[in-house]
Amino acid sequence: MPGGAPWGGTPPGFRLSRLRTAARVSAIAFRRLGLGLALGVVVAWLLVSATPARADFVDGLAAYDSGDYQTALEEWRALAEAGHAEAQVALAGLYMAGEGVAADSAAAIQWYRRAAETGHPVAQLNLGEFYRLGRAVARDPLAAYVWFALAAEQGRAWAGRQRDALAGELTASQLREAEARIEARRRP
């Protein structure tokens, strides 16, 4: 994508493995609390962070990072179908790249849309890009504007630049329609 791919293989926020994160937590706790309490903090953190969904997502991420895309697909699919937004974005990335599955832009759009509708900014940004380019969907600058605006509201600067560029393509009436759609998506 122009300006850099918003999803470069490792979903945002999941760059560290649980074990590396646990090591950081233990080092901080050890410095502050001493060995006994540090071990207790690490054990508690692992118990809290090892929810089935997080564990499955991290397992999928580890499989992806090792090149085992089929296992990543299996780990993420069940989570994605259950509504896990990070897994939906990761699964969409697999479909886009054809990793573990045949490349399928339509399936990628489906998963990005599901995550975007829950407010996931990377999914919103990617869906905006599909509409901006007309990739696997009819080109729709108004829809692209809406998705970019929502992603930009969550700190995605690239999405803000794309939204601003698209504003020049839209009429005043279309901009009002876009703002109405954005407002409707902001409300729960």
Predicted TM-score (pTM) above 0.85: no
117: confidence class by pLDDT, cuts 50, 70, 90: very high
pLDDT tens profile 58-77: 999 999 999 999 999 999 99
Cα(first)–Cα(last) distance of the chain, in Å?
Answer: 30
Out of 25-34, 126-135, 144-153, least confident range = 25-34
- The contacts of residue 31 (CB under 8 Å, 6+ apart) are none
CB 130 within 8 A of CB 92: no
More confident residue, 9 or 69: 69
DSSP state at residue 68: -
pLDDT tens for each residue of 25-49? 334 433 444 444 444 443 444 434 4
Burial class from Cβ neighbours inside 10 Å (0-12, 13-18, 19+) for residue 137 reads middle
Mean pLDDT lowest for which of 42-46, 100-104, 106-110?
42-46
